[in-house]
């Protein structure tokens, strides 16, 4: 898909994607699914950064603007509520000019399973 994790710090994670030809839909703009996946990559990193296996159990996205061919999209996920079992996170996806492309929210579920050997997580 081309999304890559670029940073994971205390309660914040970022992922990035360059919009390429294969990301475009029939209207010539970036597919919503590509933007959703980019946000989900950042969500996965921030929600699992406590080294507890965590999954999204509910998520939604709102598309503010279209992303275009060549745009560099950055998703920044923030752990808003670090509840031990049901954390809540928000993700903002912006283009290279800082224009808000999408807002993504997710409620997660943390299992009592420790993550081991996962590169990039603190």
What confidence tier does 119 reach under pLDDT thresholds 50, 70, 90? low
- Give a yes or no: residue 11 inside a domain: yes
Please give the pLDDT value at position 1: 86
- Give a yes or no: residue 35 inside a domain: yes
- Give a yes or no: residue 120 inside a domain: no
Residue 48 pLDDT > 90: no
**Looking at residue 83, which CATH number applies to its domain?**
3.10.129.10
Backbone angles phi, psi at 38, to 5 degrees: -60, -45
Please give the pLDDT value at position 115: 73
Please give the pLDDT value at position 77: 97
Q: How many other C-beta atoms can be found within 10 angstroms of the C-beta atom of residue 4?
A: 12
- Count structural domains, the chain: 1
- Give a yes or no: residue 45 inside a domain: yes
Q: What angle do CA 81, 16, 3 make, to 5 degrees?
A: 100
What confidence tier does 10 reach under pLDDT thresholds 50, 70, 90? confident
Mean pLDDT of 63-80: 97
Please give the pLDDT value at position 84: 80
Full domain range(s) for residue 13: 4-113
β-strand partners of 89: 79, 106
Q: Which residues contact 67 (CB under 8 A, 6 or more apart)?
A: 19, 29, 30, 35, 73, 95, 101
């Amino acid at each position: 898909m081309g999304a890559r994790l670029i940073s994971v710090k205390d309660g914040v994670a970022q992922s990035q994607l360059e919009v390429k030809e294969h990301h475009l839909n029939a209207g010539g703009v970036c597919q919503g699914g590509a933007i959703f996946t980019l946000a989900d990559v950042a969500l996965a990193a921030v929600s699992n950064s406590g080294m507890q296996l965590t999954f999204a159990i509910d998520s939604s996205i709102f598309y503010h603007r279209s992303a275009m061919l060549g745009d560099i999209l950055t998703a920044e996920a923030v752990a808003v509520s670090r509840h031990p079992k049901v954390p809540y996170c928000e993700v903002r996806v912006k283009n290279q000019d800082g224009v808000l492309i999408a807002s993504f929210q997710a409620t997660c579920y943390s299992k009592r399973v420790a993550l081991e050997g996962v590169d990039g997580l603190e």
